[in-house]
Amino acid sequence: MRVARVMWHPSGRFLGTTCYDHSWRLWDLEAQEEILHQEGHSKGVYDIAFHTDGSLAGTGGLDAFGRVWDLRTGRCIMFLEGHLKEIYGVNFSPNG
């Protein structure tokens, strides 16, 4: 697994990683284990960001799609299309 990005979760307990294998992962650092392994992008996942309340993750991929994930269920709750090229950065507004 080749990692593209690493991002701290707002709680400080979790770490998100994006990979060129079309997936991203959420790691529990206290338990030292992977707690989510999500797929959905058709190419590498380049960036990840967490909502300030820690409940959502946003990912951007080399497939030119963005996704928003509910971390409580692990499900993709929003599919963002319309970009003409790869997405190299994602972020949430500081006020939500």
List the domain boundaries for the chain.
3-80
| DSSP code at position 66 | E
Query: What one-letter code names the amino acid at 2?
Result: R
Question: In this structure, which CATH number among 1.20.1270, 1.10.3470, 2.40.10, 2.60.40 belongs to the domain 3-80?
Answer: 2.40.10
Distance (Å, rounded) from C-alpha 49 to C-alpha 46? 11
What phi, psi does 19 have (nearest 5°)? -135, 155
Share of the chain above pLDDT 70, in %: 99
pLDDT 10s digits, 19-64: 999 999 999 999 999 999 999 999 999 999 999 999 999 999 999 9
* Alpha-carbon 3 to chain mean position: 12
Share of the chain above pLDDT 90, in %: 95
Taking all residues of the chain, what is their mean pLDDT, rounded to a whole number? Answer: 96
pTM here is: 0.93
